[in-house]
Structure 1
């Protein structure tokens, strides 16, 4: 902190004035800060600061150590709980100092925490597609980086609480990897839970990896408006009533495949696939099952809201029709899968299901969970088992 302290030899203190705000490191002495991060130590430079007895930042009074108060500088730490735009949309972004001789203020933005990516809409989105990242703290965005260093530096569409960021996927992405969001507060990566353009762990893509066994007929294999070559389209334009089970046109049954040598806890892995729901889905369970009828399974009910996913076999009574905006990625952690209709034990080790048959089957349960489904329109592609931790 050399160079921050000077003696006051004048008998009368000046009115307070702030000339700059900088870091305490002498190497950054010439950088006048317009924004600071939580937890950072800063030096407020100026004159007439020796009698400072109060400093506020965004309305919060900060701890003031008299040892670090001189006529020419005051050193403070920005606490982690100072209000930011992330906690108060109307935050003032004002630094205010009160001395015996008056009050002085200046603009100073307190940056929110670094962004946190919790989900991406489509891991196989193409150039020109709309692409949404969900998470927290999408403020002051500088760029989004795709695999191979392909960058987006404009066209950011962020919702009001900065939990959703939508951009257009740039062309020229040929590599697989992660997606990063860079903001003034820091950088966040979607990995390892989400990777972009990555075929690792692919079990069936209905193209060169096609272990389809029985269920939907040849007419269900389509390419028009696909995400990546051939996909399977489960479709029925007549009503599906409650208590309807196991129609072949609603089933994708995959044979066993060559084991990938997966090891470790099931909580470190997930079943992933892309889905395109063209008509609102108001009912029905997509049963995803490994090995056999009594094997580990999960009931995917994307229309059911306010749901504890660890108790997927129960019905909450709350529903909201589910429809996607094109293709979207679904991630289901393997530790949610349980045997014997949900009453059994969860998968412990991922090796238990490595290489085993997988089945996707629509069921429309008895009422009150089951309601009539007017039209079924679900497309599937890129079924895979991947490490997410």
Structure 2
């Protein structure tokens, strides 16, 4: 009997709950329907930026990719939004009657937009719409790479990034300013070239540029002579032991076009070796003496607390003939490896693998390779590492020599962290010549440029 009473009571409660929910839903729907009929008014536009000291700032312009908050009334029921004529996604979760969030899509046209919709935001719902004039700017420029970060004065370098349109000024470390002779990629804004002036500070730092899209800094990796570990000309000490390359096997004849060699440099295949046999590791090797102290040399300008993703190893490389299909460089944090490793405190540099395919690699002159230390296998698991972790790893090693192997063994594409494909690259005999110089440690941190200085 009690069970039947409970079932009846539960059924009654469920029925009441459904009625109440239905009434509430009807009331909410009625409110939404009423609000949907109200005209749309935009009173103010705010930039949402959690990284700013003012995370909700009223603005008069916006850049591609930024998040906006529109403030006003009648936003309930908005079905479509157009920025510079481009239909932009609306997430109803972030829409209330008096406020809505909307991100400016990376596909939004700026100067390419039709003149009658350029610099406008338009909102539409079933029975009304509103349009406001609002400046839409291209994304701020950014710099992510430089063809040669330790060049001679008078040499030309190429700076790579995005939004590099109409670059009018480049300021080198030491406040050395260049405003003439700058050429840029007019179509896509992905690079510009500039000649390196005299007087650039040997302490190094960031390049600063001004362009039609605004200003930007490069990472602080340009001309960092104080970061040199080994340059084969007196900065750093070459280790000479075992089968390592000796000072007498270095070269000094000028080589390279555009960016030329600087004093002594290292050929990884010396004159006594016609070619490297297939299936062999550690066919050539070079190390520092191991007497260097990274903590005392580098922490004055790269604090030990720096995130390891903002610290990198750079070296200059010259490959005059196509290199493809076999061979790679193994960069070693310490002298504790026998060759063939794809884990631990090493990084394998295979420049002829591009998008998973074998593509010939060669350079016209000397160019710079930048390897963030979080690309080394020991630190590439996504952990929250700092420069201190790297320093301690080296300081605890028995053999602190930093070095490079040339290896000529088989490997699988999946050995490279950025690929999962099971594609074999069998080695073959190779006579490729790879030259290297100017090993150095640099910071990848860049000063922030803001449209709204605090």
- What is the TM-score normalised by the length of structure 1? 0.65
Match of 2:406 among 333, 337, 362: 362
Partner of 2:249: 219
Residue 350 (str. 1) matches residue 390 (str. 2): yes
- CA distance change for structure 1 residues 92 and 168 in 2, over 3 Å: closer, same or farther? farther
Distance, in Å, in 2 between the alignment partners of 1:109 and 1:153 is: 28
Q: Residue 321 of structure 1: CA displacement? A: 1.3
Structural mapping, 1:188-337, within 5 Å:
188-192=216-220, 195-214=221-240, 215-217=244-246, 218-225=248-255, 226-235=260-269, 238-247=274-283, 250-261=284-295, 262=299, 263-264=304-305, 265-282=307-324, 283-294=326-337, 296-306=345-355, 316=356, 318-337=357-376
Structure 1 residue 224 displacement after superposition: 1.9
The CA deviation at 1:278 is: 1.4
RMSD over aligned Cα atoms = 4.0
Structure 2: gaps spanning 5 or more residues: 1-59, 69-80, 89-101, 123-133, 338-343, 412-423, 446-454
Q: Which structure has greater helix proportion?
A: 2
Cα 1:346–1:233 change in 2 (3 A) is farther
Q: Which residue number in structure 2 is paired with residue 388 of structure 1? A: 444
Question: Which residues of 2 match residues 26-45 of structure 1 at below 5 A?
Answer: 38=63
Q: Can you give the 5+ residue segments of structure 1 that lack an aligned partner in the other structure?
A: 1-34, 42-54, 63-78, 99-107, 307-315
8 Å CA contact retained: 2:84, 2:110: no
- The change in CA–CA distance for 1:59 and 1:266 in structure 2 (over 3 A counts) is closer
- Residues 42-69 of structure 1: CA deviation (Å, up to 9, x unaligned): xxxxxxxxxxxxx98743489xxxxxxx
SS at match of 1:332: strand
For residues 443 and 371 of structure 2, the distance between their equivalents in structure 1, rounded to whole angstroms, comes to 11
Q: Deviations over 1:61-106 (max 9, x none)?
A: 89xxxxxxxxxxxxxxxx862788x8578433555799xxxxxxxx
1:178 has 2:206 as partner:
yes
Per-residue deviation, residues 217-258 of structure 1 (Å, max 9, x unmatched) = 4132325245433221223684434202333xx321222133
Contact 1:296 1:346 in 2 (8 A): no
**Cα distance change, pair 137–209 in 1 and its aligned pair in 2 (3 A):** same
SS at match of 1:167: strand
Q: Which of residues 100, 104, 110 is equivalent to 1:81?
A: 104
State the SS of the aligned residue for 2:170: strand
SS where residue 148 of structure 1 aligns? coil
Does the C-alpha gap of structure 1 residues 186 and 245 become closer, same or farther in structure 2, counting only changes over 3 Å?
same
**Deviation for aligned residue 1:330:** 1.2
Of 264-273 and 378-387, more deviation after overlay is shown by: 264-273
CA distance in 2, matches of 1:92, 1:373: 58
CA contact (8 A) 1:111 1:184 kept: no
SS of alignment partner, residue 174 of structure 2: helix
Paired residues of 1:129 and 1:169 also in contact (CA < 8 A)? yes
Bigger radius of gyration among the two: 2
Conserved 8 A contact 1:122-1:329: yes
Matched, 1:115 2:154: no
CA distance in 2, matches of 1:59, 1:163: 25
Deviation (angstroms), 1:372? 3.1
Q: Deviations over 1:321-361 (max 9, x none)?
A: 1112311111112222236xx99x99870212259211211
> Which secondary structure does the structure 1 equivalent of 2:433 belong to?
strand
The match for 1:166 among 183, 187, 193 is: 193
Decide whether the 8 Å contact of 1:60 with 1:83 is kept in 2. Answer: no
